[in-house]
Amino acid sequence: MKLAGQTIELLKKEIILEWRSKYAFNGILLYIVSTVFVCYISFNLNPGFKQSAGYPIVWNILFWIIMLFASVNAIAKSFLQESKARLLYYYTIAHPQAIILSKTIYNTLLMSLLSVLALVVYLLFFPNKVDDILYYFMVVLLGSMSFSTVFTMISAIASKAGNNGTLMAILSFPVVIPVILILVKVSKAAMDGIDRSLSLNNIGTLLAINVIVIASSLILFPFLWRD
C-alpha cells in the first residue's frame, strides 16, 4: 500500500506542477497543431489530393506519424526537467518504482488528452470518413498509453546517458515500431468499420507489449535510478 500511496502523491505533484506552468501541455499542443498545419498546406499544394484513392491510407498513417513524434518530444522531457537535486530528494523519500509508475501514469494521462485534442484538430484540417469513430478514439487512447509506457522508460535511460534527442529516438524507435504497426492496422480496421472482434487479437498483442514494457521498467528502474 505504501507504493500505491507514494505513486498517487507523486502523480498529484506532477499534475500540480504541470497545471501551474502548462508548459508541456501547451508546448506539445502547439507542436501538434503546427505539424498538422504544415502537413495541411503541403498536401494541399497538390490539387486533387483529397479525392485521390490513397487519401484514407495517407490520412491514417500521417496521423500516427504525427502522434509518434509529438509523444517522443512530450515524454523526452519527463526526466529531463528533473534537476539533480530534486532527484536526490526523491531518492530519500520515495520508492523508485513509485517514481517510474507515477511518471508513466502521468504521461499516459497527458498523452491521452493531447492525442484526443490532436485527433480533433486533425479531423478539422483533414476531413475523413471514419466508420467506427468510437473504436478509433479507443485505439488512439490505447496508442497514447503504449507510447507513454515505452517512452517513459526510454527517456529514463536516455536522461542518464547525457539527455540528447538522438539517443532518445534511436533507443525508442525499434521498440515502438511494432506498436505503431499494430496501431496502424487496428485503426485502419476501425476506419473501414470492420467488425471489432476481428482486431481483438491485435489489441491483445498491444496490451501484452505494454505489460512486458511496464514489468521490465518496474524491475529495471531501481537499478537505473541511482548514480
Partner 1 sequence: MKFIYKTWWKVLAVVIIFYTLIAGFLLGVPRLEILHETIRNTYFHVPMWIAMFTVFTVSVIYSIKYLQTGKEEHDLIAVEAANTGIFFFVLGLITGMLWAKYTWGEFWSNDPKQNSAAIAFLLYCAYLVLRNSIDEEQKRAKISAIYNIFAFPIMIVLIMVLPRMTDSLHPGNGGNPAFGKLDMDNRMRMVLYPAFIAWSLMAVWIATIRYRIRLIEHKKNAIN
Kindly state whether residue 47 participates in binding partner 1, applying the rule CB under 8 A: no
Residues in the interface with partner 1 (CB under 8 A) total: 29
Examine residue 216 and tell whether it contacts partner 1 (CB under 8 A). Answer: yes
Which of these segments, 22-30, 46-54, 190-198, 204-212, binds partner 1 (CB under 8 A)? 204-212
- Window of 5-13, 30-38, 86-94, 199-207 that interacts with partner 1 by CB under 8 A: 199-207
Q: Does 157 bind partner 1 (CB under 8 A)?
A: yes
Q: Any idea of the CA torsion for 68, 141, 105, 181, to the nearest 10 degrees?
A: -40
164 binds partner 1 (CB under 8 A): yes
119 or 213, CB closer to partner 1?
213
Using the rule CB under 8 A, is 198 a contact of partner 1? no
Q: Which three cell numbers stand for residue 32?
A: 501538434
The residue within the footprint of partner 1, chosen from 111, 171, 184, 186 (CB under 8 A), is 171
CA 44 to chain centre: 28
| Separation of alpha carbons 33 and 136, rounded Å | 20
Q: Could you give the CA distance from residue 64 to residue 127 in angstroms, rounded to a whole number?
A: 16
Going from the C-alpha of 44 to that of each of 47, 64, 118, the distances in angstroms are: 6, 19, 19
Which amino acid, residue 197? S
Q: Are 104 and 214 in contact (CB under 8 A)?
A: yes
Which of 123, 175, 194, 218 binds partner 1 (CB under 8 A)? It is 175
- Are 106 and 15 in contact by the 8 Å Cβ rule? The answer is yes
Phi/psi class of residue 45: alpha, beta or left (left: φ > 0; alpha: ψ in -120 to 50)? alpha
Under rule CB under 8 A, residue 167 binds partner 1: yes
CB of 116 to partner 1, least distance (A): 28
Residue 22: all three cell numbers together: 502548462
Regarding 170 and contact with partner 1 (CB under 8 A), the answer is yes
Which range touches partner 1 (CB under 8 A), out of 57-65, 87-95, 116-124, 172-180? Answer: 172-180
| CA separation for the pair 107, 126 (Å, rounded) | 27
Residue numbers at the binding site for partner 1 (CB under 8 A):
153, 157, 160-162, 164, 167, 170-171, 173-175, 177-178, 181, 201-202, 205, 208-209, 212-213, 216-217, 219-220, 223-224, 227
